[in-house]
Structure 1
């Protein structure tokens, strides 16, 4: 038997693992279910999804987070064996299969069939189609992405996560081009925000579209790695999008506090708040950015931080320190 390697010499610091994104965001019930799932207790996930009911935004967020768990596929199959007629078990299996494809552990066609099976078992549920949209973003055609998005929207027109995903998909079209003010991602975001009810979080989607398009341009080397140094955020379109979204947020947040979604009252509200904080930082409004970052606290999301060499914790500190020096 080979002996274990010796510990590092004294004085050499162990490399700390990078802080990970919290899949549950600020959904404490989901976080508890993920902890239980890691210990092999899939019944907690069953109880969580049963309690979620037809809150489609929350259900989509919870199922994709559960499916992303490393042991999700194992316990999803266990649940399906115990309850083969359960639509929740089928949706969990589909979400886990999609995440296995994203990790290179499963064939895309098998995951697609799992999603379609779950969709047939619960025709009114947009969540299997949300999983298909996530799959199509990575492996599908533009037509497949559009079809999955249309199916989600037919069941829940204001689906928050689906619109974010579709914005990311469209922003990735023509990655090597310079920024075009008529790019389809901007038209899509403006259309969705106009179609949504007055109290819908989709009011933030134009800011999301602007951030997603910047992410693609920066990855292609067409914009600076530091978004605060990019002219992408100084255009008239960007300023209008940021002002409209921020004004909406201040009004909406005042009437949507409490509930399982945390301070925002929405299962992915921290994602919206991250985009707004980031936009304020890029705009140079450092005091406002620092205030938003402070309210976000430890709820780090990956959504607006897919830029080269960007670390959310570092950005939080930078905005705070700059704002303090400016006062």
Structure 2
């Protein structure tokens, strides 16, 4: 199977829109965002993939060289910058620009989410993240009912190393508007991970508490699987091996819960459906439950998400294909 990397995946409306905005047509982004003002889950997804479409030729040039001391990148040329300038009272424009500025900040930092920030690029990274915070605040002001600017604020807490009370304040704003907001749970989970500002214990506690209190059909049942994938990538020395943990009774109960209370009963697909389905498929593969993984891979199709596959020894594409083959044919070596 050929892996499809397009961020629009199987969304027949969004795929052509992303191609258009990548060419600078911000009006198409506006048309894509307007229907999301009362669908906060889709708003989270659409604003995120639109923002990712900003990374283009000039950002790739930045990755090939280091910024000189004091150098700043242009924050007026990209289509979200132009959109905000043209429609300064549009909350959609400010939300997308906020998210795009953080993506541009990580591009400047060069090393990405997993490794941290290049020291030489740190001043520009901070400037861009501060601009992103300003844009998020404006998006929240213009559409007070929207939880997404607050969820984005939680995400910003990670690179800005915000103290936990500040993160929790943004979290309370989110859940007051949408208690089951998937992106907010994802970014708070990241904040609580050991690789960022938390610990394995805090991560597992949050993930299992969220799953235990989630309704049937909620994607929050996938969070303990996310936690196990994160633990396996950054496990402490000594103690259990990843193989032992994936085979353990507690983790297999988490898999049963995700299958029975989310995947098999959900009536609709949420914005992060492909990320969550890939995580479930990965967990079933690591646990050797190939027959149960088969319908999950069938539903996923060719859309292998970066997480969790990119963290495997063999990389995203090969590991996804290996796991899918194991599910379809009944058994392959796990990694």
TM-score, normalised to structure 2's length?
0.77
Structure 2 equivalent of residue 150 of structure 1 = 172
- Report whether the alignment pairs 1:163 with 2:181: no
- 2:258 paired residue among 224, 245, 261: 245
Which residue number in structure 2 is paired with residue 193 of structure 1?
211
Distance in 2 (CA, whole Å) between partners of 1:124 and 1:296 is 32
Q: What residue in structure 2 maps to residue 37 of structure 1?
A: 21
Aligned to 2:34: 50
Partner residue in 1 for 2:140: 119
SS across alignment from 2:156? helix
CA contact (8 A) 2:47 2:95 kept: yes
Give the C-alpha shift of residue 120 in structure 1: 1.7
What CA distance in whole angstroms lies between the structure 2 residues aligned with 1:325 and 1:244?
22
The 2-side partners of 1:305 and 1:221 are apart by 22
Counterpart for residue 140 of structure 1? 161
Aligned partner of residue 89 in structure 2, secondary structure: coil
- Partners of 1:196 and 1:202 within 8 A in 2: yes
Q: What is the 5 A alignment of 1:58-77? A: 58-70=42-54, 74-77=78-81
Q: Is the 8 A contact 1:171 1:216 kept in 2?
A: no
Q: Distance in 2 between matches of 1:283 and 1:98?
A: 35
Which range moved further: 58-67 or 96-105? 96-105
Which stretch shows the higher mean deviation, 278-287 or 315-324?
A: 315-324
Encode CA deviations 1:287-310: one digit per residue, 9 max, x unaligned: 333442233121111122242424
Which residue does 2:10 correspond to in 1?
A: 26
- For 1:279, which of 269, 279, 283 is the aligned residue? 283
Deviation at 1:266, TM superposition (A): 1.8
Segments of 5+ residues of structure 1 without an aligned counterpart are 1-17, 257-264
Tell me the distance in 1 between the aligned counterparts of 2:11 and 2:29: 13
Q: Which runs of 5+ in 2 are unaligned?
A: 57-74, 109-123
Q: Paired residue for 1:7?
A: none
C-alpha distance in 2 between matches for 1:153 and 1:322? 39
Pick closer, same or farther for the CA change 1:53–1:249 going to 2, 3 Å: same
Is the Cα–Cα contact under 8 Å of residues 242 and 276 in structure 1 kept in the other structure? yes
Q: Distance in 1 between matches of 2:90 and 2:196?
A: 41
CA–CA distance in structure 2, aligned partners of residues 34 and 250 of structure 1:
28
Question: Taking structure 1 as reference, are residues 325 and 267 closer, same or farther at Cα in structure 2, changes over 3 Å only?
Answer: closer
Q: Does 1:232 align with 2:250?
A: no
* Pair 1:222–1:132, CA change in 2 (3 A): farther
State the 1:169 CA deviation: 2.2
Q: How many residues align?
A: 292
Aligned CA distance change for structure 1 residues 212 and 150 (closer, same or farther; 3 Å) = farther
CA distance in 1, matches of 2:278, 2:239: 21
Greater Rg over alpha carbons, structure: 1
